[in-house]
Structures are given as C-alpha cells and as structure tokens.
Amino acid sequence: MKKKPQGSKATPKTGLNFSEKKRLRELKNTLAGNDRKQEKPDTAQKTITFKKMYRDGICQVASGCYTKMVEFFDINYDLLEIEDQGEILEQYSRLINYFDPSIRFELFLFNRQVNEQTLIDQFDIPLQGDDFDDIREEYTEMLKKQAAKGNNGIIKSKYLIFGIECKGYKEAKAKLGSIEADVIKNFLNLGTHARSLDGKERLRVLHEYFNQDTMEPFRFSFKELSESGKSVKDYIAPPGFDFRYPSRFKSGRMYGSVHYLDIIAPRFNDELLKKLLDIDDNLTITLHIRDCTQELINVQLQEYPDTVIKEKQAELNRLYDDFSKKYGLINSQTNKRAFNQDSSYCLLCSLEKTDEEGKFVGKADMFTKRTIKKAEVVTSVDTATEALAVSLSEKARVDLDYMAELSGKS
C-alpha cells in the first residue's frame, strides 16, 4: 500500500452527484414542456384542446372559459365617400372599445379551398314558393358562375370570437347571449350583416380548418353523435398531426407554417392585411387586440396573487420598451396627435413620469408595484365625524340614517 505524500491534501470531488443530476434533468424537461406528469396527446383528437361544444354554439374552451362565434361580411369601405368612411371608422372603434378586459376576443380570417359542392351550397338562395322563385333561381345561377370564375374555389370568411370566464354553462349562456346581441348590433351599425354560429356550424369551420387537404364535405348531426358514442372531435380531427419539424407542421397530408407578428403602434395600417387576404390560397389570420395596461389594473382590482401581477408587469414593461424604442414617449406631441381619437390615451400617459417641462423622469410605479387595491366597503365607524366623512364620500350628502347605522348611534 502506497502512502500519501506528507503535506498533500485530499482533492475535493467536483461536479454533481447522481440525485442532483436527476433533479437537473427533471427541471430541464419541465422547462422544455416535456414533464412526464403532464399527459401528452397521443391522438389527433386529444391535440384539439377544447372541452365541449354545445348545440347553441357555446364552446367550453377550458375549465371556466366559454366562447361564442359570430360571422360577419364584407364592408365596401373603399367605395364610400370620405365622410361615410369616417363614420365607419368611428363605429368600428366603438365595436373594439365595447370589449372590456373581462371579455377576450379575436378576429379570425379564414381563406380555404373547398370542394365544388360546398362552394355551390354557399350561393343557394332558398325558394319561397311565390312568383319571385324564377328570379331567385336565375340570381343563384349567376352567383355560382361568377364564383367559379373569380375565386378558384376559395371561400373567404371572417369571424369574431369572444369569450368570458364563468362558473358554468348557465351563467355563460346568459352573459354571452347579451354580448352577442350587442356585437351583432355594432356590426349592423357598421353597415354589414352578422350572424351567430350554432354548434354544428362552428364544428364545420373547425373541420374545414383541420382537413384542408381532403376537401371532404362535413357530415355531422348532434342526434347521430348521441347515438354513436363518439366525440365531436372524431368528426373534425385530421388523420394526424406532426410537429417534429422546426419551422412547419403537418396536418393530414398538408404542410403548414405559423408566423407571429407583434404590432405595437399608434395606428395599424390595414393595407398589409388587405394584401394578405387577397391571396387566393389557404390562409388563416387571427388578430388579438389586447389592452395590457387595463388588464394589469383589472388583476389588481380582483386581488390576483403576486405571481400573476408580476407576469403582467413584465409584459407591460416589454410592450412599453418596444413601443418607446420605435415611437418615443407616449406623452410626445407626435403620439398625442396619433392617439387623439383614443379614449384611453390619458391612461397611457400615466405610464410615464415627466417633469414640469414634459421631460421623461421614469416609468410609473405600476410597472413594479401594486398600485391599486379593491375598494373596501365601510360598514362601521367609531365617531360621528367619521360617519359624516363616509356619508359624504359614499352618498355625496348628509344621510343621517346611514350615519346612525355606521356609528351604531341614533
């Protein structure tokens, strides 16, 4: 046995031990979305993540989240007079501003190639059994011939999807019904027709979206569904999905690619959108319009946990930094002119601290701190002076009965 040289010290072990390496692998898998505890979808049906589609068109997307879908039709904006265009823009602003932070919404623009029968069915005008049926038939044939010439079998549809958080279907039905009526009314004010889609129609759109390579007609009924024991996803899912490719995916026999465009600007130029929608090919565009500032205020008012608040603050910081790099201060004269029709401009200005000369001092506290608390209802006070102050604050007058109730004195 060899003796260690005198004065030498044992070399400490370096690197991770077995348990530490195992924990590190688990952490990497979790961060990469490959957590074994999370069930991976092993069929095309499980990849489609909504929970339930109701007959009336309400879709339960997730626990506590319900949506409805409205189809709207073209507005001949370019053919209008300047004055009428201004009125259309005003009505459009009202439609967008209608959605408060509790209502999530998106515009879904869908160009897809369909089979000849589906294209023909789109232009069928129902006969009424009166003297005008000959005109209806003639007009239907004219529309079908024109469609065959001009769009290469492409149907271009436009939808608005909106959703809310609710405890259950009954609550969602009442709230979404009210929102839907307002949305359709707003579209009518824009001078265009809009209609609500029922459950079968929403499933048809999903079927056409997921099966763009087959152009097979959609065959489905809720009655047949209840008798078959199948899921609605069995009727809309493609043969399979393949997400192994870095820049594209495969749905059935068709390849697709997804691109994300984050536009942070005072005004959105619709020329790009128009050019994209003029493409006679399979194309889907979804527009998500969100007010991050109002969402941050909302989560504070509803007393969400600190983790949610910090996530929203980080998002607001990123959006503000991106905007200021491109367009300068929100309080600048240029942006003031750009936002002159935006009712939320004053709120946006409060995101910046400025001195008396209008120079930037720093970001507002809401970027880093909780600045809003839920209003607490005062139910009792100790003195008559406090009762008077609360009465003036809550009632805007001296209410002796209310003051007596607060103080417990008569």
For residue range 4-62, what is the model confidence (pLDDT) as tens digits? 455 444 444 455 667 666 666 666 565 555 555 556 778 889 899 899 999 999 999 98
User: For 259-360, where are the alpha helices, taking DSSP H only?
Assistant: 271-277, 292-301, 306-327, 333-338, 345-349
197 and 176 Cβ atoms separated by less than 8 Å: no
Place of tokens 């004065």: 7
User: What is 214-240 written as a DSSP string?
Assistant: T-PPP---HHHHHHHT--THHHH--S-
89 pLDDT more than 80: no
Angle between helices 169-189 and 82-98 (to 10 degrees): 170
In this structure, the number of other CB atoms found within 10 A of the CB of residue 66 comes to 24
For 179-189, write each residue's pLDDT tens digit.
999 999 988 88
Strand order from edge to edge, sheet including 254-256: 241-242, 249-251, 254-256
**What's the chain's length in residues?**
410
CB 274 within 8 A of CB 287: no
Specify whether the CB–CB gap between 184 and 85 falls below 8 A: no
CA–CA separation, 190 vs 88, rounded Å? 6
pLDDT at position 384, please? 81
Q: CA 329: distance to chain centroid?
A: 27
For the ranges 191-205, 276-290, 345-359, the one whose mean pLDDT is highest: 191-205
CA distance 106 to 162: 7
pTM: 0.61
What is the average pLDDT score of the chain?
A: 78
